[in-house]
Structures are given as structure tokens and as C-alpha cells.
């Protein structure tokens, strides 16, 4: 009876863990297997092609466009969301009246699907009827805004909508960090004659470093996974000008009948995320025992 009681917890979680690990790691390996086959419309495990799909991938102009867009999007999206989020968090931390309401307003986009907000932004950024018409009606008749339909600017529309969606998230994380800082630190610095901006730059920001770090991590991995927003706003277009790896993978796998190539691009995405997250997870788990 005693040994059964000891065994029970393991027995209870075992089936779930087996399923969960099969889903995460089993399918990951399976995807890797697919990527070394010549699969096209259907998976074909008999045709082993080695690393040929990866060679094809890194030889494709479209893949480089997707990577360039990902780089642009990641830097601007992560940087923009963090800058705006930090600004709002610091300002909200100045004993603002109606702080709760403001916070709710800044954060609500996070509760919405990227498809919902993407549909709205598509209308707002519409070249003739959207922002452009508004400016014309106000009296700025020379205003022209057709970023959404131009190859070299469409990705910036995705950036704008992305920052709008995620800035409140960064704000919430920073605000939680700021609330954890002892007020007396600021008071002491003020008595020493330091100005408020200086205090934030030199004292508060360094204290917030762990929060800043994990925010960068979370936002960057979100940017690698960005799929819905691009699909809703530009669907990768015009042409494939605003493609990102996530839309590239989907198009190759499900509409172009290039399953092997799609699997190879998915493996690359996995490698990007792993390079970002694994060191973080490792350090988090390693440092835990010291905290307790």
C-alpha cells in the first residue's frame, strides 16, 4: 500500500507526460525527418534526399526576403513595443489619477486576436479610403499613404499594428517591475539632488534589467512566431514582399505542395527560437535552487 501511494503520483502524470512529450519532441523529430525527404504534395518517406531541402531553402530569394523582413520586424517591433511600454510604465508610475482605467485601455489589444486587429488596421491603412482620406478631409490634401500596397513598405504596416498590439504588454511587465522597487531609493536620490529623468536612467533602469531582459525574450520569440498579423494585414504580399518565415512555411507546406521544403523552414524557425530561449530556460532553472 505504501509503495503504491509513492507510485501513484508518477502513474497519474505519466500518460499525460508521454502524450505531451510526444507532441513537443516526437513531432519535432518527425518534422526533422520530413525535412530530409523529397516530400511534395504528400509526405513521402521513401525518398531520402539528405540536406537538399535546406540547400534549396538557403538558395531561395523568397526565403531571404522572409528573413530580411523578420529581422526588420523583430528589431522594430521589439524595440518599439519596449520603448513605448517603458515610457507609459514610467509615466503611469507617477501617482496618476485614473491609473487603472488607463492601464486597461493600453492593454486591451492583447486580449484581441491579431486577425481582429489586423482586419481593423487593414481598413485604417487602406490607401485611398483610410488614413489618406482622413488627412485630405482635414485639409492636408497632398498627404499620401499607400504603404500597405507597396512592396518595400508593407512590412512597416505590420510593425505599426504589432507595436500597437504589444506595447501595453511591455508596459504591464515594466510596471510590475517598477512597483517592486522600493520608493526610498528614489527619495534618497532626490535628496541628493538628482533629477527625475536622471534617476530613472541611472538607477531604476539598471534595477529593471532582469525584467527588460525577459521582455526582450518574450517579444522576440513572439516576433519569430508572428503569423496571424501578417496573414490578416498583407497575407505576405504584395507578391511575397512582406513574407516572414512563418508565412513562408505555411505557403510552402499547405498551398504550394512543397512539404519537404516547408518542414525544412519550420526546422529553421525552431532553431531561431531555441537559440533565444534555451539559454534563458537553462539559466532560469539553474538559478532556482539559490533563490529558496
Beta bridge partners of 25: none
Is residue 189 a contact point for another protein (CB under 8 A)?
Answer: no
Q: Is 68 or 179 the residue whose CB approaches another protein more closely?
A: 179
Say whether residue 250 binds another protein (CB under 8 A). yes
18 near another protein, judged by CB under 8 A? no
Verify binding: residue 256, another protein, rule CB under 8 A.
no
User: Which of 48, 64, 140, 254 touches another protein by CB under 8 A?
Assistant: 254
Task: Looking at residues 19 to 78 of the shown chain, list those that interact with another protein (rule: CB under 8 A).
Answer: 19-21, 23-28, 30-31, 34, 43
**Contact track, another protein, 190-229, x by CB under 8 A:** ---------------------x--xx--x--x--xx-xx-
A 10 A CB-CB count for 188 gives 13
**188 is a contact residue toward another protein (CB under 8 A):** no
Name the segment binding another protein (CB under 8 A); options: 46-54, 62-70, 116-124, 201-209. Answer: 116-124
- 3-state SS, residue 37: strand
Burial 14-40 (b: 16+ CB within 10 A, else e): eeeeeeeeeeeeeeeeeeeebbbbbbe
Q: Which of 232, 71, 215 is nearest to 158 (CA)?
A: 232
SS3 223: helix
Q: What angle do CA 182, 185, 189 make, to 5 degrees?
A: 160
Q: Which of 131, 154, 159, 204 binds another protein (CB under 8 A)?
A: 131
Rounded to the nearest whole angstrom, what is the least distance from the CB of residue 137 to another protein in the complex?
5
Size of the site for another protein (CB under 8 A): 99
Only segment of 12-20, 46-54, 58-66, 150-158 that touches another protein (CB under 8 A): 12-20
How many C-beta neighbours within 10 Å does residue 163 have? 20
Instruction: Assess whether the previous peptide bond of 101 is cis (omega < 30° from 0).
Output: no
**Least CB distance to another protein at residue 192 (A):** 18
Inter-residue contact 28 to 22 (CB < 8 Å): no
Amino acid at each position: 500500500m505504501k509503495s503504491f501511494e509513492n507510485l501513484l503520483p508518477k502513474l497519474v502524470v505519466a500518460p499525460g507526460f508521454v502524450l505531451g512529450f510526444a507532441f513537443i519532441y516526437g513531432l519535432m523529430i518527425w518534422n526533422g525527418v520530413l525535412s530530409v525527404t523529397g516530400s511534395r504534395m504528400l509526405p513521402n518517406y521513401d525518398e531520402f534526399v539528405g540536406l537538399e531541402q535546406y540547400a534549396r531553402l538557403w538558395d531561395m530569394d523568397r526565403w531571404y526576403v522572409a528573413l530580411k523582413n523578420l529581422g526588420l520586424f523583430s528589431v522594430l517591433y521589439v524595440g518599439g513595443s519596449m520603448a513605448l511600454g517603458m515610457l507609459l510604465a514610467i509615466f503611469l508610475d507617477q501617482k496618476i489619477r485614473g491609473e487603472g482605467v488607463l492601464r486597461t485601455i493600453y492593454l486591451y489589444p492583447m486580449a484581441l486576436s491579431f486577425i481582429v486587429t489586423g482586419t481593423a488596421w487593414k481598413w485604417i491603412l487602406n490607401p485611398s479610403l483610410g488614413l489618406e482620406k482622413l488627412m485630405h478631409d482635414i485639409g492636408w490634401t497632398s498627404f499620401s499613404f499607400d504603404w500597405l500596397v507597396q512592396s518595400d513598405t508593407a512590412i512597416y504596416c505590420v510593425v505599426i499594428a504589432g507595436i500597437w498590439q504589444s506595447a501595453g504588454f511591455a508596459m504591464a511587465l515594466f510596471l510590475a517591475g517598477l512597483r517592486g522597487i522600493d520608493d526610498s531609493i528614489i527619495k534618497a536620490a532626490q535628496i541628493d539632488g538628482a533629477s527625475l529623468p536622471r534617476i530613472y536612467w541611472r538607477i531604476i533602469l539598471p534595477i529593471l534589467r532582469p525584467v527588460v531582459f525577459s521582455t526582450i525574450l518574450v517579444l522576440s520569440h513572439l516576433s519569430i512566431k508572428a503569423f496571424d498579423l501578417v496573414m490578416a494585414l498583407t497575407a505576405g504580399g504584395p507578391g511575397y514582399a512582406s513574407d516572414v518565415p512563418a508565412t513562408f512555411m505555411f505557403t510552402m507546406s499547405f498551398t504550394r505542395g512543397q512539404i519537404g521544403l516547408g518542414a525544412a523552414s519550420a526546422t529553421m524557425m525552431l532553431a531561431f527560437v531555441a537559440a533565444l530561449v534555451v539559454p534563458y530556460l537553462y539559466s532560469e532553472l539553474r538559478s532556482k535552487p539559490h533563490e529558496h
